[in-house]
Structure 1
Amino acid sequence: MAGATLDVDTEKLRLFIRINQLEERYRTLVENANVGIYLLMEGRIAYANPEFQNMFGYSLSELSQMSITDLIHKDDRRSFIERMNGGDWIRCRGVRKDGSLMLLEWSIAPLRYHGGFAIQGTVKNLTQIEFLLTERERLYRELEKLYKEIQKSEDDKVKFLEMISHEIRTPLTIIYGYLDMIEKGQNSSIEKIEKYVEGIRNGADRIKEVLDKIVSIEMIEEVCEVKWRKVELSSLVKEVVESLTSSKRRKNVNIRCNLDKVIVECDAEKIKAAVRELLSNSMKFTFGGHIDVSVSKYDKWAIVSVRDTGSGIQDIERIFERLHIAHDIKKHSRGIGGGLYLAKRFAHMHGGEIEVESKPLKGSVFTLKLPL
């Protein structure tokens, strides 16, 4: 009998030790869980693990004096209480000790505890998860937008190369035509030869203009130094106007100038190039009528305005894009594009801006603003 009693006591001891080991293991898991774990008795918080305490910012002693509904946003309390009895998952807004809100997901599990009724469960903070999901959606939309922009950029490059090919091939054809006439016309008069030479020169000028534009567009992407010096802006603009109207190809364009004397500090060559692009753009799309060019001061800005009576600009929101080829409202297009992109970049290098307004069949106004 004594041996049997000893065996029973030994087995009880083993069970006791095993139970203690399991309890210790369970306690360790609960204490180190990355979700909030709680126990409610009679509506009060009887236990909350460290994650629960950190989540709400209260100590265990503070939580033990609180009802679970004290941690729920006032507008969500009624639905929370109604769903607690169902032993369900509940999503609602929680309130931290500092008053900040978070989106929570509660698990509710009713049970018997020490002869009474209790509720145990977990709570997860979904705020970060919701943020990550929202951020993922935002990144997805940005990637989708970037993909479309890349596709559009590739299409623009193809159109750009086609336009370059056309813009170079056309004057080359003219040059070869005049050269053939000179070779075959042994008895041609001096006047005819001069006409042929003028045609060749105009064709060569056009090719040079196209090549210069391509080089400028590529070079602008590199680090570009601004060579600052004081410049009389009206003289600079007058020089640009004279250079563009001196060519016989431009002789039918009527340009009227009103140039006030304004001194600015700038890179003369870059601003000259910007003004040239604005004016040449207006000249391309103004068939008859006139162009008004003015230089003035307004507030802290030097203003260069180019106003034309052309037929207006199509896709006005895109005209400053790198490879965009401008069209007027009648869908005419001339040139290889990129000039207005250059002009705007040069303006930005000086802390300035270029603005544009356009009305169908009434013309456009380009305004270059430079800080004084």
Structure 2
Amino acid sequence: MIGMSIFIYTYYKSNTYKTVDRSLLDEYHFISNQFDGDSILDKIILQDPKDIVYIYKGNTVKYYTQNRYFSDKYPTNGKIENGFYWEKFNGYNFRTIYFSENEYDFRIMRNIDSEKEGLSHMVALLIMTDMLAIIPGFFISKFLSNKALKPIENSWNNQVKFVQDASHELRTPVSIIQSKLEYLLKSPSSTIESEAETVAVAMREARQLKKMISELLSLTKEESIVKINKEQFEIESVFKELSESYTEIAEYQNKVFSYSINTKSRYISTDRNKLIQLLRIFVDNAFKYTNEGDSIDVSIYDRGRDKVQIVISDTGIGISEKDQKHIFERFFRSDSVRATDIEGSGIGLSISQIIIKTIGGNIKVKSKLGEGTRFFIEIPKGKIAKKL
């Protein structure tokens, strides 16, 4: 902006004085054609009445035009080279052209105070314009830079928090495994049978550590995904796959697992693998936080013309209203759950949140402590082929 203002000022100034110089040169030629050294008393007609003319012969003024700038004292003949000059007399600014012709020296002057004043006003106007442009421009650029840097800053803070949380969560099983192994080293005469419980605890923590590492890798992988593999498939095929995976587990744990499909269309178009991964996270949690005799149900309904809603409900231990605000945060586990033997890392629902955003849906939860939990997953139906 400042560069543009400098260019405008320079261009305007140059054109202004070039116009004055051309006018003075034309005036000189016009006067030169009229002037006759033998008849110096003849009045010379000027193209521009504002011009001031002095004609010298040596140091003597032979002809001049009346003006208000030199009433008492005439400017002397400087006898300088032909050309244009800047001059200042009695506080006035002039642009002057000098030309020598035969024995006469021509001095044609024009007051340029108005031009200088115009240029000063232009400078003030350009400065004011620049200030008006720079100040909001500064705040706009600051706002935009902050806006552009905010995702980077958030990403960095999330990464730092992720590393801190992951380090904290991984430290616990590692510490337990280490303490159990150290205990075994201090008891070399012990048999496997006598230390079966110690080995079992170490193995359980090793499995938990392996699961946590797997989930961390999955979380990192999901965050890097920007493209999904959409395909059209039967809704029932996904629910059958879930049923095959969890029916036996339900029987073993003395729980009831069921599903129902309540949609007009048999088909949906989305990323099938991600949908199954998403549902497995919630069904796994449902099995984890239910007791014997409890039930887990997965149902799907139409939600308007363009969406479906999948509801995963259970009759388990439920989630307190306070904890519901934090369940999608990484590594979050309520105090009541941490105090139990229920295994978990607090990463699963964080992964689900990333997956649902990837496939363009949303998740809501309704739960009451001691009465069970319902998760509502809304996703777009996608474009379904007419032939189906």
TM range (shorter): 0.5 to 0.7
Q: Is 1:239 paired with 2:330? A: no
In the alignment, is residue 9 of structure 1 matched against residue 9 of structure 2?
no
2:115 is equivalent to residue 33 of structure 1 = no
Q: How does 1:233-272 map to 2 (within 5 A)?
A: 233-242=238-247, 245=250, 251=253, 254-260=255-261, 263-272=267-276
2:363 pairs with 327, 351, 354, which one? 354
SS at match of 2:117: helix
Structure 2 residue aligned with 1:343: 352
Greater shift, 308-317 or 154-163, is seen at 308-317
Check the 8 A contact 1:171/1:204 in 2, yes or no.
yes
Contact 1:282 1:310 in 2 (8 A): no
Per-residue displacement from partner, 1:125-164 (whole Å, max 9, x unpaired)? 9865664465477569767997688556534431222112
Structure 2 portions without partners, runs of 5+ = 1-58, 63-71, 78-86, 95-109, 382-388
Structure 1 residue matching 2:338: 3-state secondary structure? coil
Aligned CA distance change for structure 1 residues 267 and 149 (closer, same or farther; 3 Å): closer
Report the counterpart of residue 221 of structure 1 in structure 2.
223
Q: Which residue of 2 aligns with 1:279?
A: 283
1:62-101, Cα deviation, whole Å (9 max, x unpaired): xxxxxxxxxxxxxxxxxxxxxxxxxxxxxxxxxxxxxxxx
Deviation at residue 212 of structure 1 after TM alignment? 1.7
Which residue does the alignment assign to 1:312?
319
* 1:2-26 superposed Cα distances (whole Å, 9 cap, x missing partner): x899992226996265382443222
Q: Tell me the CA shift for residue 202 of structure 1.
A: 5.7
Give the partner amino acid of 1:281: N
Residue type of the partner of 1:335? G
What is the root-mean-square deviation in Å for CA atoms of aligned residues? 4.9
User: Are the aligned partners of 1:160 and 1:336 in contact in 2 as well (CA < 8 Å)?
Assistant: no
Matches within 5 A, 1:292-303: 292-299=296-303, 300-303=306-309
Q: Provide the rounded CA distance (Å) in 2 between the counterparts of 1:34 and 1:256.
A: 80
Separation of aligned partners in 1, 2:291 and 2:131: 64
- How far did 1:215 drift? 1.7
> SS of the residue aligned with 1:273?
helix
* Aligned with residue 325 of structure 1, among 319, 323, 331: 331
1:359 shift after superposition? 4.0
SS of residue matched to 1:351: coil
What amino acid sits opposite 1:367 in the alignment? F
Counterpart of 1:310 in structure 2: which amino acid?
A: I
Contact 1:352 1:371 in 2 (8 A): yes
Aligned residues: 274
**Contact preservation (8 Å) 2:223, 2:354:** no
Q: Does 1:230 align with 2:233?
A: yes
The SS at the match of 1:210 is helix
Change (3 A) 1:284 1:210: same
> Do the aligned partners of 1:220 and 1:342 also contact (CA within 8 Å) in 2?
yes
In 2 relative to 1, CA 331–140 (structure 1 residues): closer, same or farther, beyond 3 Å? farther
Alignment of 1:101-112 (within 5 A): none
2:212 & 2:257 partners in 1: Cα distance? Answer: 27
Compute the displacement of 1:364 (Å): 3.0
What secondary structure does 2:373 align onto? strand
* TM-superposed deviation, 1:350: 3.1
Partner of 1:159: 165
* Cα gap change, 1:297 to 1:148, in 2 (>3 Å): closer
TM-score (normalised: structure 1): 0.54
* Cα separation, 2, equivalents of 1:243 and 1:201: 24
Aligned residues of 2:176 and 2:202 also touching (Cα < 8 A): no
- Counterparts of 1:198 and 1:245, CA distance in 2: 24
Letter in 1 for 2:215: K
Instruction: Specify which of 349, 368, 371 is matched with residue 377 of structure 2.
Output: 368
Cα distance in 1 for partners of 2:179, 2:268 equals 43
Report the residue type matching 1:274 in the other structure.
L
Kept after mapping to 1: 8 A contact 2:278/2:352: yes
Aligned equivalents of 1:306 and 1:349: distance in 2? 20
CA contact (8 A) 2:287 2:296 kept: no
Tell me the amino acid that sits aligned with residue 219 of structure 2: I
Within 5 Å, which residues of 2 pair with 1:65-84?
none
User: Any idea what SS the aligned residue of 1:260 has?
Assistant: strand
Larger Rg over CA atoms: 2
**Contact 2:173 / 2:205 at 8 angstroms: preserved in 1?**
no
Compared with structure 1, are the counterparts of its residues 278 and 14 closer, same or farther at alpha carbon in structure 2 (3 Å cutoff)? closer
Q: What are structure 1's unaligned runs of at least 5 residues? A: 36-50, 52-121
SS at match of 1:8: coil
